[in-house]
Chains A and B, each alone.
Chain A
Amino acid sequence: MSSFKPKIIAFCCYNCAYAAADLAGTMRLQYDPCVSVIGVPCTGAIDLTTVLTAFEEGADGVFIAGCLKGECHYKVGNLRALERVKYLKRVLSEAGIDGDRLEMYFLSAAMGSRFAEIAKEMTDRIRGMGPLPLNGCPEEGEGK
C-alpha cells in the first residue's frame, strides 16, 4: 500500500482556493504532488457529471474548495456545490465507492497554509483507502 500513489483532483474556485494554492506555493509549503489543481470560476459552476467523470477517468479522490460560507462572489455558488457534493457522495456510495473519496472545503484566498493542510488531509485519507476500485477495470462505453 505504501507504493500507492493516489491521483487527487482539486477543483478550486479562482476567487479563493486557487489563490490560496498559489499562496501555499509562494510560502514554499510542501504538499504531495499527487494533488492536481483545476481552477473554476466558482464551485457552483461544477457540474455533477464533471466530478463523476473525474472518478471514471482515474481519480482516486476529488475535493472541491470554495469560498468561505457567506463570502461566495456569486452569493450561493459554494453552498450549491456543497449540496451537490452531498448528493454525489450518495451516488458514489450507491455505485459501491466510498463517498469519503469526495469532499468539500471552504477557505479564503489568504489561507495558503490551510490549503496545504487540506491537500495533506485528502492525500492521507485516500492513501489510507487505497486505489479506487474502478481503476482495476478497463472502461468501455460510448458514453465515455
Chain B
Amino acid sequence: MIVAERKPLAEIVAALGKCRKVLVVSCSGCTAVCFTGGAKQAEVLASSIRMHYRVAGVPVNTGTVAVTRQCDREFLQPIEHRLTGVDAVVSLACGVGVQFLAEAFADLWVVPALNTRFAGGRVGTTLWEERCRMCGDCILHLTGGICPVTRCSKSLLNGPCGGAAGEHCEIDSSIPCAWIHIYERLKRAGRLELWQKLQQPKDWSRGNAGGLGRLAREDYSE
C-alpha cells in the first residue's frame, strides 16, 4: 500500500490562506490503513483547523466527507454536492488521490494534508517500511523475494557491496544488508546459482525515470 504521513498543521493552514469554508476529504484506501487519512483522522484534522482559527479569533466553517478511494473517479462524483460554496478542500489521500480530486473538480482549490512517503507495509505496531520502488521491471524471482532496489541503500543489482558490517548496512546500521539476506535465502533454497549470475542493468525507463507512467490494458474494453 501507499504509506503517507500528516503534514504539520501550520503548513496546511498556510496553504489554506484566506479560505474560511473548508471541507476535509478522507480516503478509505491506503492512507486510512496507515492511520493518516481515514475518516477519524479527517475529524481530528477538521477539529484542529477549527481550533487553530478560533484561537486566532477567526471563525471557520469546516466539514468532513469520506471517499472510498480518491484515486478512483467514480468515487469522487458522489461528493460533488458537498462542494457547493466550499473555498478549499483538504485531501487526506496520497498524491494520486489529491490529483484525481483536483482533476475531477476543475475550479476547486485542493490542499494536500499528507506527504506521500513510499509503497510499503506495516512491520511493527506503529512502524511502516518501504518494500517496492515501482521500477517496473521486477526481479524478485531472482533475489529470493527480497528487493535489492528498495532494501539495498545503493540499489545494487549485484551485491553485497563489501561495506556491510555485522550483517547491517554501512549507510545506516539499523538497516539489515539486503544482499546478505538475499544470499542466505538463496542458499537455503539451494539456488545460489541465481546469486552468482551477473545481473545486467535494468531498463529504468519503465519506472519513475521515464516520465509519465502509463498502462493501457487492451484485454479490457470500456
Interface residues of A (CB under 8 A from B): 47-49, 52-53, 55-56, 91-92, 94-97, 133-134, 136-144
Contact in complex: A142, B51 (CB < 8 Å): no
Closest Cβ–Cβ distance, residue A130 to chain B (whole Å): 13
The verdict on A49 contacting B50 (CB below 8 Å), with A94-B8, A133-B55 known, is no
Interface residues of B (CB under 8 A from A): 8-10, 40, 43-44, 46-48, 50-64
Contact in complex: A49, B55 (CB < 8 Å): no
Q: Which residues of B contact A53 (CB under 8 A)?
A: 47
Which of A48, A55, A95, A134 is within 8 Å of B40, CB to CB? A48
Contact in complex: A96, B47 (CB < 8 Å): no
Q: Which residues of B contact A134 (CB under 8 A)?
A: 51, 54-55
Contact in complex: A143, B62 (CB < 8 Å): yes
Closest Cβ–Cβ distance, residue A53 to chain B (whole Å): 7
Q: Which residues of B contact A142 (CB under 8 A)?
A: 61-63
Contact in complex: A141, B50 (CB < 8 Å): yes
Q: Nearest chain-A residue to B57 (Cβ)?
A: A137
Q: Which 10 A-B pairs have the closest CB atoms?
A: A95-B51, A96-B55, A140-B59, A137-B54, A52-B47, A94-B9, A142-B63, A95-B52, A141-B61, A133-B55
The verdict on A91 contacting B48 (CB below 8 Å), with A48-B40, A49-B43, A137-B54 known, is yes
Q: Nearest chain-B residue to A48 (Cβ)?
A: B44
Contact in complex: B50, A136 (CB < 8 Å): no
Compute how far the CA of A52 lies from the CA of B47 in the bound complex, rounded to whole angstroms.
7
Q: Nearest chain-A residue to B9 (Cβ)?
A: A94
Q: Which residues of B contact A94 (CB under 8 A)?
A: 8-10, 48, 52
Contacts A56-B50, A139-B59 supplied; 8 other A-B pairs, CB < 8 Å: A52-B43, A52-B47, A95-B9, A134-B51, A134-B54, A137-B54, A137-B55, A143-B43
Q: Which residues of B contact A137 (CB under 8 A)?
A: 53-55, 57-59
Contact in complex: A95, B48 (CB < 8 Å): yes
Which of B53, B56, B58, B64 is within 8 Å of A143, CB to CB? B64
Q: Which residues of A contact B57 (CB under 8 A)?
A: 136-137
